[in-house]
Amino acid sequence: MFLALAGAAAVGCAHKKTPTSSSAPVIATLERTACFGTCPAYEVKVHADGFVVYEGKDFVKLKGRHTAQVPPGKIAALAAAFESAGYWELHDYDDQQVVDNAWANTSFTHKGKSKTVRHYLSDHSAPQSLADLEGKIDDILDTSRWVGTPEERDKLERDWMK
């Protein structure tokens, strides 16, 4: 019995750990900034090798630096999301008629081209494809594990507002 448990423990320890850094280039970023409310403020960067770095700032489930590794299929899905959003044709959307909202800033590097788009979330001239892309980045990289699910954020918001 003891040998069986020891063997199972040894097998359990054979799992790969998420690396703590990557020398591969950053290929995509999403930064969500603070607002005058409880908007989640964080930045997530993904490297070409699938290494993901999340930095939680305010109104998120997990603050600080956290890392993960995503498989090549997620990197391909991310590239496809940027391409289908027409990212190369987008520009900054920074009309600040209302001044208490957050920004969602993205960047993408692919096939030797790089671009950054700044998106003030109250700028209604921004195409829906940009907001959809920002959501897809969150979905593909599963940022809810750090930012919190809507249910977790509802509970945390009650604590934040005390």
Name the architecture of domain 16-160: 2-Layer Sandwich (3.30)
In 5-158, which ranges are E strands?
Answer: 26-32, 41-47, 51-58, 64-69, 103-110, 113-120
Using CA atoms, how far apart are residues 122 and 83, in angstroms rounded to an integer? 24
Beta strands in the chain (DSSP E): 26-32, 41-47, 51-58, 64-69, 103-110, 113-120
| Confidence (pLDDT) at 161 | 77
**pLDDT value at 9 more than 60:** no
Please, are residues 119 and 126 in contact by the beta-carbon 8 Å criterion?
A: yes
Nearest to 140 by CA among 65, 62, 46: 46
* Domain ranges across the chain: 16-160
Average pLDDT over residues 8-23: 60
pLDDT tens for each residue of 55-100: 999 999 999 999 999 999 999 999 999 999 999 999 999 988 877 8
Give me the chain's average pLDDT, please: 89
The first and second tokens of residue 2, run together, are 């003891």
